[in-house]
Structure 1
Amino acid sequence: MSADDATVAFLAEAGHLKNLPRAGWLLAGIRQPESVAEHSYRVGIIAYVIATLEGANADRAATLGLFHDVPEARTGDVPSVGKQHVTLQDPNDVAAVQTAGLPPGLAARIRGLVAEFEAKETIEAVCAKDADKLECLLQARAYQAAGNTLVQPWIDTMLAAVKTETGRRLAEAAASQPVDAWWHKIVASYGRPGTD
């Protein structure tokens, strides 16, 4: 397989994350939960925001957020309740297999992203990990607003899990602010001068 073929295969595999549901939400009775790709998309945005506010490299944090679940294209998304009952391959090892046919420089960069996120030693990785937790909290609040009463444990757990000062502030705001507040403000402005 050529390097271009291997690269396209990797991109197609990453696209599989669009079809992979976030398994934890199934435990809460969510019939069609968000996909891993949908989760990772918002993690990237949140990581960028947190890192910017923390004075870290926002581009790096966002990239970590986008790539952090790529190994799940091979392993699936195992909810925390199941992790104690299965043996999962280390995400670093999975990323190594996933990137084996890629051009060496590209493979090394993707493996480095997964390794940095997993190690959680850089401020960018901590920001990305906080983003992972904050995204889960926001999604739990959205499911709660839609009537699901079983997601409170996710909200409580994610509130306790964030590490950065910015992450803690945003998590507190996310836990208390209605998830639809952003568009209620827009709707309330309809008909006012200058809002056409």
Structure 2
Amino acid sequence: MDGLLEFLLYVGQAKRTFRTGWVLRGVERVESVADHMYRMAVMSLLLPTVSEESKVRCMKLSLVHDLAESVVGDLTEYDGIPKTEKHRRESEAMLYLTSLLPADVGREIFSLFNEYSDQKTNEANLVKDLDIFDMLLQAYEYEKIQCDEKFLEDFFQGSANKVKTNIVQKWLEQLLKCRSSGGQFQLPADSNLNTMLKRVLYDEQGTFLYKYPSSDLREKSNNFISSKTKNENSTTSTVDTNELLTNLVKDIKDLNS
């Protein structure tokens, strides 16, 4: 059990290991390695014209392929480390991580890591393309969040032509078309803000705590949530969410006093 617990703590470290490329570009709210692997696993589940067995294989590869970064970090070309040295460090990290697990499970995870690295199976090729696609999708999201079109153009220029599988190429074509047209998709509302609002406006039984008219509250809440998203004319790069939330709650309480 001690080995399993240590392994899971390293998995948790992947949630706190930020993706280096975004950090170097100064993007806001940088995703973690775990964020990246999770969406790749979901993408694997959505692969069309792929057998269920291959989907499961792709999901496993997605969840394992960057796990070594929880030990060695997200090493990039900007770290001045040759690819051979990067692979050596990651292999040693995976050997240690898998040694913490029961032998059969450890062997499977290490085998998955090597399969992805070797790129000799159809599933490994697919997951490599998902790795690229998720990065470009994330770049598109950051451009939308920071209201800075083409802010991460170099990521698209350097990676879009590396996608080889037909399935992921079709997904990428849709993304590039959306990006070039200005994007008809709006990013989902910030669920963290919705959760925060719920906690301050309702008690544990779900009873609304204030006399403020619900229709006015909805409008005020929507304005609050949208105010944290920069509009095209905004010159600020960040919004103090805590300050906005504090002001909203104070405003509501004042109206009910």
**Would you say same fold, with TM above 0.5?**
yes
Secondary structure at the aligned position of 2:46 is classed as: helix
Aligned residue in 2 for 1:187 = none
- Which stretch of the first structure deviates more once superposed, 92-101 or 137-146? 92-101
Match of 1:53 among 49, 53, 57: 49
What TM-score comes out, normalization by structure 2 length?
A: 0.64
Alignment of 1:5-84 (within 5 A): 5-50=2-47, 52-55=48-51, 57-84=54-81
1:38-187 matches, within 5 Å, as 38-50=35-47, 52-55=48-51, 57-84=54-81, 87-88=85-86, 89-146=88-145, 147-148=147-148, 149-177=150-178, 178=183, 180=185
CA distance in 2, matches of 1:40, 1:173: 21
* Secondary structure of residue in 1 paired with 2:17: coil
2:17 partner letter = L
Percent identity, please: 26
Displacement of 1:150: 3.0
Q: Which has the greater radius of gyration? A: 2
| Counterpart code for 2:67 | V
Relative CO higher for 1 or 2, CA cutoff 8 Å, sep ≥ 6?
1
Cα RMSD for the two superposed structures: 2.3
Unmatched 5+ stretches in structure 1? 184-196
- Structure 1: which 4+ aligned runs deviate by more than 3 Å? 52-56, 83-87
Deviates more, 1:172-181 or 1:110-119: 172-181
Q: Which amino acid aligns with 1:77?
A: D
Quote how far apart the aligned CAs of 1:145 are.
1.3
Q: Which runs of 5+ in 2 are unaligned?
A: 189-257
Once the two structures are TM-superposed, the CA of residue 158 in structure 1 deviates from its matched residue by: 2.6
The CA deviation string for residues 139-174 of structure 1, in whole angstroms up to 9 with x for no partner, is 000011122443111122231111101111111111
**What TM-score, normalized to structure 1?**
0.82
